[in-house]
Structure 1
Amino acid sequence: MKFSTRILIVDDEEMICESLQAWFVRDGYQVETALSGEAALKIVENSPADIYLVDIKMPHMDGIEFLTRLKECQPNAIVVMMTAHGTVQTAVEAMKRGAMDYFCKPFDPDELSLFMERILANKALREENNTLKELLSESNQQGLSEVFIVHSEPMRAIFSKIEEVAPSSAPILITGETGVGKDMVAKAIHFRSERSCGPFLAVNCGSLSESILESELFGHEKGAFTGAVKARRGRLEMAHNGTLFLDEVGEISQKMQVSLLRAIEEKSFLRLGGSQPISSDFRLISATHRDLPSLIKEKQFRDDFYYRINVITIDVPPLRERLDDIPVLADHFLKRYAEETGKSLGGFTHKAIDLLSSYHWPGNIRELRNVVERAVVIARGRMIGAEELTFVNPRHDAGLIGSATLRELEINQIKAALESCNWNIVRSSKRLGIDRSTLMRKMKRYRLDRC
């Protein structure tokens, strides 16, 4: 991404322009310089940049005036102010007028590289938000369907619940196995809410150590710990007027749960090493594949934190419980990867669809996407056949249906579980790996009653 990113440096000191240009070119960016705000605006007229580094104190047109003029012709421009320590307050004022961030002179090359990486990550997040908002704004349901498949009865029920809960600001807990699309449900809620114009910030709590997660969420002041060379805003602060999505929330330590609970309830917190409370109005959406009530019983998860994040629950069923979605999802992924690879494919053969529908999908939608992408890459003809489908976790009965239909296989499996558990619904649902309501719905559909 950095190789296509254009940076315009605006500073009246030629030495600073040359130094910054050399550093950023070394890092792989395309860089131009301007020694005044007026010169910079002329460059912008012909060739707008992606990121602007602007000195605050310049003769004639200062950085604040340039920022104002730039925003008139390029409202979404990413502007970073450069300032001496004595003008930090002016830099803060510039941020109120639309600048994204600021950093202080003198510069350290390594710090600048890290700083720019963060700016690029934020830029990518904003672009993702804009893309999803465009998809979702085309029409109420049509736009959402571009990124959120609403086909089977269980997913229609989830979509209805999203429509119902999105307008509120109540915390939501999304549960479900790994790979079922919990992140897409979270994004759908955000973009159907009144906060859709605000940021959607996602944090994978399971991939970060406790200390890094704390800094990522709360931010830190300069000198808060070794390596904290400048103050940094955390995700809680950046999520103001938007949504904070905590993925894999079940991995958060109990110490962190206490800190987060206070921030959620008070909408206020301290940066690491800070003494000034920071207010932030955000909506919290959490997700987990773990059984949090069991973790509470085992004293591994706090019940007060659980109750606070679980005001509303949305349980996303695994792919094996919504077989009607498999052909639709497979076709969606086929079109995407066929377009990416430039192949002209007509779809799947009947045998391939039967194989996809009979597989148990332990990796859910993520695994389905992987299987389809691989099939598209190795496809030789116009149609994808069963021989081109390769599963990561094959099961001996997958695809070997014999003379029985899928309906008959499911009925027989449910009957066997019920009989082995003496028709106890709770134990039978656990044996089948589905929840109680799903089992009862299937029993009603297949008219399975104890004789």
Structure 2
Amino acid sequence: GTHVAQICLFLLTENGFFPASLLQSSPPRRAREAEREPGDEIERRGDYAIIDLDLARYERIARRFDAEREERTGFLKAGIATHDAGFNALIDRIERVAEASRAPILLSGETGVGKTQLARRIHALKAERGQSSKTFVEVNCATLRGDQAMSTLFGHERGAFTGATAKRRGLLQNAHGGVLFLDEIGELGLDEQAMLLTAIEDKRFVPLGGERPIESDFQLIAGTNRDLNVSVREGRFREDLLARLCLWHFRLPSLRERLADLEPNLDFELERFARQTGRRVVFASDARLAFVRFATSSGARWSHNFRDLGAAVVRMATLAPGGRIRRVEVDDEIARLRATWGDDEPSSSTLRGLLGDAVDELDLFDRVQLEAVVEVCRASDSLSDAGRRLFDKSLARRTSKNDADRLRKYLARFGLEWSVLRAED
């Protein structure tokens, strides 16, 4: 039975209303379909236990429920032992919502933060608990255009438009009883948004070119890397649809915001490489230290988040001789990543030309400030001219007017000299 039913039976029996003992049975422990490997045997023997109504032992039941919840949240995290407290709390909330609600869920975040994988695992969790069928339908809305968008989502009747020679079922109809995941929902046109809102609220819709409504009861999970509030203000997204989606809105943080979880995810990517290729690869200790130092530095942009990390691991592991990633593979990969991200951050390229790898050791505060100072210096005729530009607001309040000396000392903190900056012009 449900947890509520179990607690009610417990209280009724414990207070003598039922002359009975409580027998707790459990099904065979088996791997979820999403975790099971081909050829794995299914354990078919269940288990049972008589619940002791001694209140001193009731805590064991509560601990079992807590353990089951931890197992479910671990599944949503793909088994990765994450350390970031904010992310762990977020996943715990998502697990509670997935268990208790069939309302739409909106997952937002940058490209590559794991929205699609999380949506699939939410569905697998609900399917295991009997809260959803095994049907999981997904589509990237950025691939849908014109009549194709309407037809793909809602289906069409024969002759609905030029080329519609046969009737077609839409994805919403296919998702009946299960979960529909619409990634990049902000790319949908306004007409499709209006029909989707009707389908969510009324659980029915009319196919393109049709007259009779089709019923479909599904749970919607939507993903976006946009700020949909901005899209609403720009007239590109319906405010009423956003209000419906935002009942449960979870923003997934970027890899840059979860640097405490970089090493567990690094190990996860190595394990995934081993499963996919049959080759187990490890880091040499100095190589791992160098990669982690770079990966957690301010110079690591991780523009595509975990996709970038996964691709980096695949490249290093593929090129590693004897299943061991050496410092040379790490150095080559760091150079590749910097080149990939370089066009997005020209000012950082300037600092790298001046400081080399030392730029990775700078705090974001110091790096941004130094970038601005270097830019002013290169646009100035002399050290004194640069000093006057940089300290112009405080000049009248200070007794010391030697701005050139103040600037010289600031640059020296980073091992820079005026002559070096001018030589770079």
Identify the residue that residue 227 of structure 1 maps to in structure 2.
Answer: 163
Identify the residue that residue 243 of structure 1 maps to in structure 2.
Answer: 179
Identify the residue that residue 299 of structure 1 maps to in structure 2.
Answer: 235
Q: Alpha carbons of 1:272 and 1:192: their partners in 2 closer, same or farther (altered >3 Å)? A: same
CA distance, structure 2, for counterparts of residue 230 and residue 403 of structure 1? 61
1:356 counterpart = 2:356: no
1:163 counterpart = 2:102: no
Deviations 1:185-205 (A, max 9, x none): 222322233534331111110
Identify the residue that residue 320 of structure 1 maps to in structure 2.
Answer: 256
Identify the residue that residue 370 of structure 1 maps to in structure 2.
Answer: 311
Asked whether the equivalents of residues 141 and 184 of structure 2 are also in contact (C-alpha less than 8 Å), the reply is: yes
What 5-or-longer segments of structure 1 have no aligned partner?
1-129, 421-451
How far has the Cα of 1:290 moved from its partner?
0.8
Deviations 1:195-246 (A, max 9, x none): 3433111111011213212111101223323333332211111111111111
What is the Cα-based RMSD across aligned positions, in Å?
A: 3.1
1:132 counterpart = 2:34: yes
Q: Percent sequence identity over matched residues? A: 37
TM-score by length of 1: 0.57
Which amino acid in structure 1 is aligned with residue 96 of structure 2?
A: E
Asked whether the equivalents of residues 144 and 188 of structure 1 are also in contact (C-alpha less than 8 Å), the reply is: yes
Identify the residue that residue 110 of structure 2 maps to in structure 1.
Answer: 177
CA distance, structure 1, for counterparts of residue 217 and residue 315 of structure 2? 43
CA distance, structure 2, for counterparts of residue 166 and residue 314 of structure 1? 12
TM-score by length of 2: 0.61
Asked whether the equivalents of residues 76 and 91 of structure 2 are also in contact (C-alpha less than 8 Å), the reply is: no
The equivalent position to 1:409 in structure 2, one of 363, 372, 379, is: 363
Identify the residue that residue 325 of structure 2 maps to in structure 1.
Answer: 383
Q: Match of 1:203, SS?
A: strand
Identify the residue that residue 102 of structure 1 maps to in structure 2.
Answer: none
- Please give the residue correspondences for 1:11-90 in structure 2 after superposition, counting only pairs within 5 Å: none
Asked whether the equivalents of residues 73 and 95 of structure 2 are also in contact (C-alpha less than 8 Å), the reply is: no
Q: Alpha carbons of 1:134 and 1:393: their partners in 2 closer, same or farther (altered >3 Å)? A: same
CA distance, structure 1, for counterparts of residue 150 and residue 71 of structure 2? 39
Identify the residue that residue 152 of structure 1 maps to in structure 2.
Answer: 84
Q: Alpha carbons of 1:383 and 1:289: their partners in 2 closer, same or farther (altered >3 Å)? A: same
How far has the Cα of 1:322 moved from its partner?
0.5
Task: Figure out how many residues of one structure are paired with residues of the other and give that number.
Answer: 287
Deviations 1:408-449 (A, max 9, x none): 7256569999xx9xxxxxxxxxxxxxxxxxxxxxxxxxxxxx
Answer 1 or 2: which has greater helix percent: 2
CA distance, structure 1, for counterparts of residue 102 and residue 312 of structure 2? 37
Which amino acid in structure 2 is aligned with residue 174 of structure 1?
A: L
Q: Alpha carbons of 1:155 and 1:228: their partners in 2 closer, same or farther (altered >3 Å)? A: same
CA distance, structure 1, for counterparts of residue 36 and residue 280 of structure 2? 27
1:333 counterpart = 2:269: yes
Asked whether the equivalents of residues 197 and 242 of structure 1 are also in contact (C-alpha less than 8 Å), the reply is: yes
Structure having greater relative contact order (Cα 8 Å, sep ≥ 6)? 2
Asked whether the equivalents of residues 341 and 377 of structure 1 are also in contact (C-alpha less than 8 Å), the reply is: no
Between 268-277 and 382-391, the greater mean CA deviation after superposition: 382-391
Q: Match of 1:402, SS?
A: helix
Asked whether the equivalents of residues 296 and 303 of structure 1 are also in contact (C-alpha less than 8 Å), the reply is: yes
How far has the Cα of 1:327 moved from its partner?
1.5
How far has the Cα of 1:148 moved from its partner?
6.3
Asked whether the equivalents of residues 150 and 159 of structure 1 are also in contact (C-alpha less than 8 Å), the reply is: no
